[in-house]
Each structure stands twice: as structure tokens, then as C-alpha cells.
A and B are shown apart, each in its own frame.
Chain A
Amino acid sequence: MSQEAYVDPATAVLWDQSHTEHDMIATRTLGFWLYLLSDAMIVSSLFASYLVLDHRVNAAAGPTAGDVVHPMAAFWGTVLLFSAILAYGAAMVGLKRGNRTAVLVGLGGAFLLGGGFLLAEGYDFAQLALHGMVPERSGYLSAFYALVLYHGAHLVFGVLWIAVMMAQVARQGFTPNVVYRLLNLKLFWFFQGFIWIYVFSFVYLAGALHVH
């Protein structure tokens, strides 16, 4: 078409031999962003299900949000999770400076704090189960457990991944492969915090305030 800039065939470059390598780390990070988008769609579906099923009818004469959740129950878990994210941020500062020990300490902190969050969440759910608030009880409780446990399952894999990365940083140092994995894990780890903000607001806070 005519809008195209005219290229003189007499001097046109036909082959590219400029040795430009694709930026491997940027390519891998882009793919991980795309994965996060797909995961966000699953989370959105779970949120949609939760908001649909967060209704008296769907509680089936069982406990409603006000009975199940309390912001304080999730408070310490939230503190632990955001501290875990802060610790990962510290590891990234270490990566920027090329300091292997700082990265390992940051990752170790994220591992412990993330594990602490999982323990707190497990304790919370055990309390709920002791009071008969199990997923089989009603559509509302099914949606509540599915949403919160989906986030929890991600943290399990995140903690496992952190352990793997600690081994790789210790063994291999900052090779391009290790660096791109650290950057992707950063995205993954921060993404879990991002989702937790929504879980805390729409499940714990809204539930306690009976805003529905």
C-alpha cells in the first residue's frame, strides 16, 4: 500500500548479520507476565464465584460471611505475608548489587515468613473446621475455601520455588538462567501479595462489615 515507506531495492538490506541476540531475560519475563495474566483470570473467576455465592440463600441456613471471617483472624497472616514480600524485595536489592549472601538472606526470610503465613492460615482453617464450617456445608463456604485456598496453594508452590532458588543461587551464582528465574519469582511472589489485598478486602473486611 502507498502509506508504506518506499525502500529502494537497489540498496535494501536483505539479510541481518548484525549478531543481535534476543534479550533472553526480557523474553522470559514477558512470558511470565502472560502466565500471570492467565492466572489472574482464574482468580477473577473464583472472585466472581465468591461474590455470587456470598448471599444468604447460598449459605443454606448455615454460617454467612459475618460468622466465618474476621479481619483479626487474617491480620497476623497479612503482616507475615507482606513481610515476606518485603524480604523478597530486600533479596532483589541484593541481586542488584550482586551480593549473593544478601540474596540468600532475603530469600530465606521470604521462605520463613511465607511459611509462617501458611501456618497461620492453616490454624485459622482448623478453627473454622472445628466449628463445623467446612466446604461441604454450603455453596458460600465452598466458594470461601476455594478462593482462599487457591491463594494458599500458590504460596505453597512459591515457598517451594524459593527453596529451589536458594539452592540455585548458592550453587550456580547469578547466571542468566538464575537471574531470570529470580525475576519471575519476584513477579509471582508480589502477585500473591497483590491478590491477598483483594482477598483481605472483599472476603475478610467486607465479610466482617456485612457489605453485600
Chain B
Amino acid sequence: MLVDYPGPWTPLLGRLDAHQIPLQNPILFWTFVLVSLGAATVLGAVTYYRSWGYLWREWLTSLDHKRIGVMYCLLGVVMLFRGFIDGVMMRTQQVMAVGPKSPGYLGAVHGYLPPYHFGQIYSAHGTIMILFAITPILVGIMNIIVPLQIGARDMAYPYLNAVSFWLTAAATGLVMISLFIGDFSHAGWVGLSPLTELAYSPGVGVDYWSWAVQIGSVGTTLASINIIATIIKMRAPGMSWTKMPIFCWTALSTSVVGLSSFPVFTAAVALLSLDRYAGTHFFTPGLGGNLMLYTDLFWIWGHPEVYYVVLPAFGILSEIIPTFSEKPLFGYITMAAASIAIGGVSWSVWLHHFFTMGAGPGVNAFFSIASMLVGIPTGVKVFNWAFTLYRGRVRFDVPMLWALAALVLLLTGGLTGMMLAMPAINYTVHNSVFVVAHFHNMLNVVGFACFGAINYWFPKVFGFKLDERTGKLAFWFFSAGTVVLFGSMYALGFMGMPRRIDYIPFTSWRPLLIGEEVGIFLFLIASYYMVKQLFVSIRDRAKNRVTTSDAWGTSRSLEWLAHSPVPFYNFAVQPHVNARDEWAWRREHGLGHVRPDHYEDIHLPNNTPLPLMLGACAFALGFGLVWRMYWLALVSLIGIVIIVIARSFQDDPGHTLPGAQIRQMEAVYPDIPREAGATGGMLGGVVARHALAAPRSRARDD
């Protein structure tokens, strides 16, 4: 059953031998040295401060949705940096390798990267940015914010949540280790067929890519299941569907998209793996394979995936903009409907990624019109945000700056998307950097929203705000970099520059390539300020500490009712929701400081190392398959089955947090009133009459 492939193989190590560690390549060698030093520093620091126990108890084995969300975000930010460095390397190669007279270094004829290495870098850049940077950051933000916004104590399945995270981490580990053992795919993040077939890519690069994305997409599918079930089942009493914050609507829509599209991706890449391991002929050019089948299956996932990342970004904008406009969101119902509509339309547009592949005018016309339809719900959203800003008291805090810039980017990205949706235009710019500029423009909308979200919700999670000055510097340098880099790239696209080239034959493109390099340099400065922002904020955390639950003073949804930082039990008593913007409603009616008068016991799940072990097994499974160490793959698979069965026998009794202890813990928060509000006649709740006697901070203005 198993296919023959070139090169030696031993039962113990499979295809792996010492030559696979690329010590002869100076770039990889020094990267390896730097990464090893960094890892040694981190591990040394953890050991020196004796933090292993803390790390194990509070993070690695935690089932707390906020901890898992923070780990997701951390993983995503680290990978965002890795993908960014890949981008820097590509831009530098292209600016160096212009024209036949350009010199070559490090074994390259032009520039410093040979074509095969360049191919690996752009493949890694795409795969990492989409699947291992943006997706984990967004899943992390949804993980933290969705349960808080719906007034829940945790996700519907806390254990599954940890499993999803560790599967994502295992997949990320596979991508990272491909730097130092073997190589990565050179066939693009889309896995260009049949280049990914064994005959044309006999190395382990494509295997690293395929197993990493398969494990990662299982993790994302499980995360989607969790978020959908959480939103359906865990909403606080009183929160009807039309009282749910828009971010939750977008999280729901995006998770439905993720749940239904990621399995298709898994299937497509699994069939490719069958071709590479079992010698089948799904996507081979000979013996009855069909190349377009892969392309179709890939983009049936690939396009919904684009909306998978953009919908939560829209949700983030819908939370940030009302807060800093000091107004409720305009057009709530249309906003929720638009979120669901975008998720639905995302399923009927995939063919616009290959209009030029000869599907015929009827098919192209259908997908062209469907693609343009996306503009309608998106337009509804943009107008709603604009009307929210209209006559609002707009404040330009750091999150708002990111959000407003994201709106501008959405406009340019959306309009170039309309251009690409027309097959006639698409034929002329297909496979040019115009397309690359368009989707970087759109993914920057997501990136800007993520940076906004991190600045916006940071005080909720950690209890202190991020530094304002460095944050603004980071924002302005990042925005300038975006304009310079992708402005140049749009222009180069119009001039006909193809994507994915390591050598530029026309010297007339050099000025714009230098423009792109300047843009990436501005990004470098921005990332310096981002790191500095984090450093300064942690150093000055006492100064930036948030003393109330509502860090921005004008926020609206339920997460701002919980303390800052959020205690591990989220809400001491589950809130009863009365209004669409519950926190704004309470604050504006002078109920913001009303605390429950007595505390019930809370039941919480126990920590468990099993998700971490499942992640480790998944990593070993992927690594064993990549190197065809079949014994390792088999052992890890059996390990996974045993862990799953063992967990089902070990019913987690959880632990109970007594009400008295919660009262004590609640007392440390400064915004707790001296005397609790009086209970009234209503069944099961604290009645607000007593609190209303106190002077109101704000008058009702609706």
C-alpha cells in the first residue's frame, strides 16, 4: 500500500538523518542559534524564578476559557511575528534581485534566496499568517470575550476548548520545527496541484504543510463547535437572541462557517496525503486523477475561511466604534442579519479564485454575481458604523484609531475586491500582485481589528491598560507602512508584475519595489513600538491600573460588568439581562455599582493535563507521518485513543467554590459597595429600587 519515494529509509528514523538539519545554510543556522538562545532564556527564566509549578497549574493544564484564550493570542502573536519576518525576507529578496545585473549572495544567482528557499518562504508566510497567526488570535479573542459577553462562567465544553488549543499548538509546532529539521512546502499556501504530488515534491516539505494544516483544522473545527454551543446554550437568563452583542453574532456566524468549511479542507488535504503515502490518484496528472478537483475542494474551504477571519473582525469593530462614539450601535438588527448573510454568501463564491481556469461564461457569471453580492451586507455594515459615528462624541483612543483605519482599509479592499469579482478584469490581473495587494489589504482589516481588540480588551483581562503613547506610535507607523507597502504593490500589479517571483526581470519596477521595502521597514518600526508598548505597560502597570469594571467609561456590553481583571469564575452571580446593551443600561440608570447581596456556591471543572498530552501525541503523530517513522505515528495514534478512553472513565467531579469564599474574593475589588443592595419582592434576584435612590451618574438619553 505504501508508496516508494526517493532516498534512504530506516525503520527507526524513517527518512530522517543528520543531513536533514540545514546547518550549511547560514540563514537557517543563525535563526536556529537565535531561537535556541531565546528558548534557553525563557526556559532558564522560568526555572530561575521557579515558575514551572505556576506555569503548569495556572496555564498548561488550565481549562479556564480566558487562560486558553490568552494562550491562543500569544501563540498567534508569536506566529504573526514569524510570518512577518518571512514577509521581510521576501520583500528584501525582491528588491535585491531586480534586473540581470543584480548581484547574488549565499548561493543565489540574484538576491540572497535561491528559488527553492524563496518558494518555502512564501508558502510558510501564507500558511502561517492565515492559519497560525490570524486564526488563533481571533479564536483566542472569541474564547475570552464570547462567554463574558453572554454572561457565562465558561465555554460549553471547557475540556474540548483546551484540546482545540493544544491541537492548534501542535500544528504550529510542526510548522516551526520544519525550519530546523527538513524543509517546508514550496508549493504555496494553497498547495498548488499537482506540484504538491510526490513526483514533483519528493521532499518532506509538503508533508509538513499537509499534516500541520490537517491537525490545525481539526482544532479549529472543534473550537467552532464549542463557540456555537456556548452561544446557543450558555447565554445568561434574559439574553434573548436580539439582546446578544454583535460580536457574539459574528462569532456565531463565523463559527458556523468554520464548522462547515474546515472539514472540507481537511478532506482535500487528506486526499492529497493519500496520494503521497498510499499512491492513490486523486490529484495526479496521470492514471485518472483530476487536478481541478483539488483546486475546487481547497477553495470551497478557502473562501469561507476568508470570511471566517473577517467576520470576528467586523464584530470587534462593532464593539469598539460604539464605545468610543459614546452611542449605541446603529442598526443592530441589520448588523446581525448582515453577519449571518455574509456567512451564507461565503459558500457560493469560491470559483472567483480561478475564473481563468476555463469554467465557461455561465459558471463565471454566476460566481461573479455571487461575489459582488457580498458587497451588500458588507456595505450595510459600513454604513451602520458610519451612522454610529455620526453625531457621536468620538474619542480617539488607541482601539478607536485601529478601528477607524480598518474602516478605510475595508473601503479600498472591498472596492478592489469588486474589481476582482468581474471576470473581465480578473483575466487581466489574475496571478498578479494586484491580487496579493487586495487580499493583504483585506487581511490588514482583520489585523487592524485584532490590534484594536487587543488594546480594547487588554484591561478587561489583565486589569491595566496598554500604554497610550507607544500604542499610538505603533498605530501610525503601521498605518504608514500599510499605505506605502500595499499602495506600491497595487501599482506593481497594474504594471503586470506576477506574484511569487524570486527574480524581477524589469528594472522599471525597482522604484516601487523600493517603496515596498520602505513600507516593510515602517512595519518593523511599528513592531518595535508594539513590543515597547507591551514592555512599558507592564513596567507602569500600577499607573495604568483600571479601578472599575468599565475601563473605558463608555463601554456597553456585558463583559464590562465583570471585574477587571476578570476573576477565574467570571461573574460571582450570573447576571440577569434586561437590555441589549446591558452594561450601558445599568450604568445609565445608576445601577452600575449594584452588587448581588448574597453569593451561591460555584461549581468549576478541575485542571487536567490530558489536553496537553493529546496535543503532544498529535505533534508526534504529525512528526512521525512527515518522516514516515510509522512506528511513531502508530504509537501516538494509539496514545490518542487511550487518552480519550481514559478520560471517559475518569469522570471529572470538578470542585466547588463556597459562596463565603467568593464574598471574600469579591471584597478585594474596589468598586464593590460598602453595603449590598436590598433585596425586593422579585423572585430570585436583587431589586434595584434601593440603588435608584442614590444620585445617578448620567441621565437617560434614549
* A interface with B by C-beta (< 8 Å): 1, 4, 7, 9-20, 22, 26-28, 30-31, 34-35, 37-39, 41-42, 44-46, 48-49, 52-53, 57-60, 62, 135-140, 142-143, 145-146, 160, 164, 168, 175, 177, 181
Contacts of B234 in A (CB 8 A): 22
Contacts of A143 in B (CB 8 A): 282
Given contacts A42-B264, A42-B266, A164-B648, contact A1 B332 (CB under 8 A): yes
Chain B positions 561-580 with a Cβ under 8 Å from a chain A Cβ: 573-576, 578-580
A181 to B648: give the CA distance in the assembly, Å. 9
Q: Please tell me if the beta carbons of A135 and B238 are within 8 angstroms of each other in the complex.
A: no
Q: Please tell me if the beta carbons of A53 and B692 are within 8 angstroms of each other in the complex.
A: no
Given contacts A37-B260, A45-B297, contact A53 B580 (CB under 8 A): no
Q: With both chains docked as a complex, state the minimum distance between the C-beta of A150 and any C-beta of chain B, in angstroms.
A: 9
B268 and chain A: residue at smallest CB distance? A45
A27 to B590: give the CA distance in the assembly, Å. 36
Between A and B, how many residue pairs show CB distances below 8 Å? 196
Q: Does B287 contact A (CB under 8 A)?
A: yes
Q: With both chains docked as a complex, state the minimum distance between the C-beta of B160 and any C-beta of chain A, in angstroms.
A: 8
Q: Please tell me if the beta carbons of A142 and B282 are within 8 angstroms of each other in the complex.
A: yes
Contacts of B574 in A (CB 8 A): 15-17
Given contacts A57-B288, A58-B290, A60-B287, contact A13 B267 (CB under 8 A): no
Q: Does B553 contact A (CB under 8 A)?
A: no
Q: Please tell me if the beta carbons of A168 and B233 are within 8 angstroms of each other in the complex.
A: no
For the complex with contacts A4-B580, A15-B685, 6 further pairs of A-B residues with Cβ separation under 8 Å are A4-B579, A11-B680, A13-B686, A39-B263, A138-B287, A142-B280
* B interface with A by C-beta (< 8 Å): 1, 3, 156-157, 160, 221, 224-226, 228-229, 232-234, 236-238, 242-243, 259-264, 266-268, 271, 274-275, 278-282, 284, 286-290, 293, 297, 300, 328, 332-333, 573-576, 578-580, 585-586, 589-591, 594, 596, 598, 600, 641, 645, 648-649, 651, 680, 682-689, 692
Contacts of B224 in A (CB 8 A): 34, 38
Contacts of B286 in A (CB 8 A): 60
Q: With both chains docked as a complex, state the minimum distance between the C-beta of B242 and any C-beta of chain A, in angstroms.
A: 8
| Among all A-B residue pairs, the 4 with the closest Cβ atoms | A139-B288, A13-B685, A142-B280, A60-B288
Contacts of B156 in A (CB 8 A): 27, 30-31
Q: With both chains docked as a complex, state the minimum distance between the C-beta of A28 and any C-beta of chain B, in angstroms.
A: 8
A99 to B293: give the CA distance in the assembly, Å. 50
Contacts of A31 in B (CB 8 A): 156-157, 160, 225-226, 229
Contacts of B680 in A (CB 8 A): 11
A4 and chain B: residue at smallest CB distance? B580
Given contacts A136-B279, A146-B271, contact A11 B682 (CB under 8 A): yes
Q: With both chains docked as a complex, state the minimum distance between the C-beta of B450 and any C-beta of chain A, in angstroms.
A: 25
A59 to B243: give the CA distance in the assembly, Å. 56
A159 to B60: give the CA distance in the assembly, Å. 33
Q: Please tell me if the beta carbons of B233 and A16 are within 8 angstroms of each other in the complex.
A: no
Q: Please tell me if the beta carbons of A168 and B580 are within 8 angstroms of each other in the complex.
A: no
Given contacts A7-B579, A168-B649, A175-B651, contact A13 B278 (CB under 8 A): no
B696 and chain A: residue at smallest CB distance? A9
- List 27 A-B pairs, Cβ < 8 Å: A1-B332, A7-B579, A9-B585, A9-B692, A12-B578, A13-B682, A14-B578, A14-B686, A15-B573, A16-B575, A17-B596, A19-B600, A27-B233, A31-B160, A31-B229, A38-B221, A39-B263, A42-B264, A42-B266, A45-B264, A49-B282, A57-B288, A58-B290, A135-B1, A139-B284, A142-B280, A177-B651
Contacts of A16 in B (CB 8 A): 236-238, 573-576, 684-685
Contacts of A142 in B (CB 8 A): 274-275, 280-282, 288-289
Partner of A58, one of B232, B288, B590, B688: B288
Q: Please tell me if the beta carbons of A14 and B688 are within 8 angstroms of each other in the complex.
A: yes
Give the residue among B225, B236, B600 with the most A Cβ atoms within 10 A: B225
B218 and chain A: residue at smallest CB distance? A38
Contacts of B651 in A (CB 8 A): 175, 177
Q: With both chains docked as a complex, state the minimum distance between the C-beta of A35 and any C-beta of chain B, in angstroms.
A: 6
Given contacts A14-B586, A30-B229, contact A135 B297 (CB under 8 A): no
Q: Please tell me if the beta carbons of B687 and A13 are within 8 angstroms of each other in the complex.
A: yes
Given contacts A53-B290, A57-B288, A143-B282, contact A10 B689 (CB under 8 A): yes
Contacts of B261 in A (CB 8 A): 41
Q: With both chains docked as a complex, state the minimum distance between the C-beta of B10 and any C-beta of chain A, in angstroms.
A: 24
Contacts of B281 in A (CB 8 A): 60, 136, 138-139, 142
A10 to B591: give the CA distance in the assembly, Å. 10
Q: With both chains docked as a complex, state the minimum distance between the C-beta of A76 and any C-beta of chain B, in angstroms.
A: 26
Q: Please tell me if the beta carbons of B689 and A38 are within 8 angstroms of each other in the complex.
A: no
Q: Please tell me if the beta carbons of B600 and A26 are within 8 angstroms of each other in the complex.
A: no
Q: Please tell me if the beta carbons of B290 and A52 are within 8 angstroms of each other in the complex.
A: yes
Q: Please tell me if the beta carbons of A46 and B688 are within 8 angstroms of each other in the complex.
A: no
